[in-house]
Chains A and B, each alone.
Chain A
Amino acid sequence: MTEKLKRVAIVGIGSTTKPGNIHPFLSWKELVADAAYEAIQDVRGLKPRDIDGAVIAYHGEGVNEQGGIGGSVADLLGIAPAPVFPHSMNCSGSAVALNTGWEMVASGKYKRVLVMGFEKEGDNINYTENINISFDTEYDYMFGFRHRDGFELMSNYYMKHYGYPDYKSYAAMSYAAHIYGRMNTKASVYGKPMPTFESLETPNSCFSMMGEGAAAAILVPEEDACLYTDTPVYITGISLACTSHYIAHRVGEEPMGPAFPNGLKREETYGQSVALIEAARNAYDMAGITTDDIDVAQVYDLTAGSFWFLDGLGITEYGKGAQYFIDGKAMLDGGAIPINTDGGNIARGHASGADGLNQVIENVVQLRGAAGIRQVKDAKCAVAACVGSAFAHMTVVVMTNDNFNR
Chain B
Amino acid sequence: MSTEFQEQIYRHTTASCTRSWRERRGRYLLEGTRCKECGAVHFPRRTVCSTCNSRNLEHCQHPATGTIVMVNICWQATGVHFGYGENIPRISTVIRLDDGVTILAEVTDTELDKIVAGARVEMVLKKLHRESNSTWMYGYKFVVIEGGESGDGE
Q: Check if B132 is an interface residue, CB within 8 A of chain A.
A: no
Instruction: Please classify the interface of chain A as helix (H, G, I), strand (E, B), loop, or mixed, using the class held by over half of its residues.
Output: helix
CB < 8 Å neighbour of A144 from B13, B71, B90, B154:
B90
Chain B residue nearest to A266 (CB atoms) is: B154
What are the residues of chain B within 8 A of A138 when measuring CB–CB?
Answer: 19, 23, 26, 44
User: Are B51 and A248 in contact, CB atoms less than 8 angstroms apart?
Assistant: no
A143 engages B74 (CB within 8 Å): no
Contact with B along A114-146 (1 / 0, CB 8 A): 000000000001101100100010111011111
Question: Once the chains bind, are B9 and A139 in contact (CB under 8 Å)?
Answer: no
- The reply to whether A248 and B102 contact each other, CB–CB distance below 8 Å, is yes
Contacts of A153 in B (CB 8 A): 70-72, 92-94
Is B124 an interface residue, CB under 8 A from the partner? Answer: no
Contact A270 B69, CB 8 Å, known A125-B9, A246-B104: yes
Interface contact B80-A139, CB-CB below 8 Å: no
Interface residues of B in 1-15 (CB under 8 A from A): 2, 9, 11, 13, 15
Q: Which interface class (under 10, 10 to 19, 20 to 34, 35 or more) fits B?
A: 35 or more
Nearest CB on B from A293, distance (A) = 35
Cβ 8 A contact of A128, one of B15, B80, B101: B80
- Is A255 in the interface zone, CB < 8 Å from B? yes
Residues of A within 8 Å of B26, CB to CB, are: 138-139
User: Interface centre among A160, A252, A255, by most B CB within 10 Å?
Assistant: A255
The answer to whether A125 and B92 have CB atoms under 8 Å apart is no
- Given A152-B74, A153-B94, A267-B152, are A139 and B50 also a contact pair (CB < 8 Å)? no
Assuming A125-B11, A144-B128, A248-B103, is B72 touching A149 (CB within 8 A)? yes
A148 within 8 A of B: yes
CB pair A144–B94 under 8 Å, yes or no, is no
For the complex formed, measure the closest distance between the CB of A129 and the CB atoms of chain B, giving whole angstroms.
6
Flag whether B137 is at the interface (Cβ < 8 A): yes
A146 touches B79 (CB 8 A): yes
Query: What 0/1 readout, one digit per residue, does chain A (244-256) give for beta carbons within 8 Å of chain B?
Result: 0011110111111
Which residue, of A132, A144, A255, A267, has the highest number of chain B Cβ atoms within 10 A?
A144
State whether the Cβ of A185 lies closer than 8 Å to any Cβ in chain B. Answer: no
Q: Can you name the residue of chain B whose Cβ is closest to the Cβ of A247?
A: B104
User: How many angstroms between the C-alpha atoms of A146 and B82 in the bound complex?
Assistant: 11
Contact B51 A254 (CB under 8 A): yes
A157: chain B residues at CB < 8 Å are 70, 152
Q: Within the complex, what minimum Cβ distance (angstroms) separates A130 from chain B?
A: 10
Residue B29 interfacial (CB < 8 Å): no
Which residue of chain A is the closest to B44 with respect to CB atoms?
A139
Is the CB–CB distance between B137 and A142 below 8 Å? yes
- Which residue of B11, B43, B51, B105 contacts A143 across the interface (Cβ within 8 Å)? B105
How far, in Å, is B102 (CB) from chain A's closest CB? 4
CB-contacts of A209-250 with B (<8 A): 246-249
> Known: A248-B102, A253-B102, A267-B152. Is A143-B128 also a contact (CB below 8 A)?
yes
Determine how close the nearest CB of chain A comes to the CB of B1; give it in whole angstroms.
12
In contact, B72 and A247 (Cβ under 8 angstroms): no
A49 at the interface (CB under 8 A from B): no
CB distance from B15 to the nearest CB of A (A): 6
Which of A139, A246, A270 counts the most B-chain CB atoms under 10 A from its CB?
A: A139
Task: Choose one: B11, B15, B95; the contact of A142 (CB below 8 Å).
Answer: B15
For chain B residues 94-114, which have a beta carbon within 8 Å of chain A?
94-96, 101-106
- 16 further A-B contacts with Cβ under 8 Å, apart from A138-B23, A148-B78, are A62-B13, A125-B9, A128-B79, A128-B81, A139-B103, A139-B104, A140-B104, A142-B23, A144-B84, A156-B70, A157-B152, A246-B104, A248-B95, A251-B69, A251-B96, A251-B102
Can you spell out 6 A-B residue pairs with CB atoms less than 8 angstroms apart?
A142-B137, A142-B139, A146-B78, A156-B71, A160-B152, A248-B103
List residues of B whose CB falls within 8 A of some A CB.
Answer: 2, 9, 11, 13, 15, 19-20, 23, 26-27, 40, 43-44, 49-51, 69-72, 74, 78-84, 87, 90, 92-96, 101-106, 117, 128-129, 137, 139, 152, 154
State the A residues within 8 Å of B (CB): 62, 125-126, 128-129, 132, 136, 138-140, 142-146, 148-150, 152-154, 156-157, 160-161, 246-249, 251-256, 267, 270
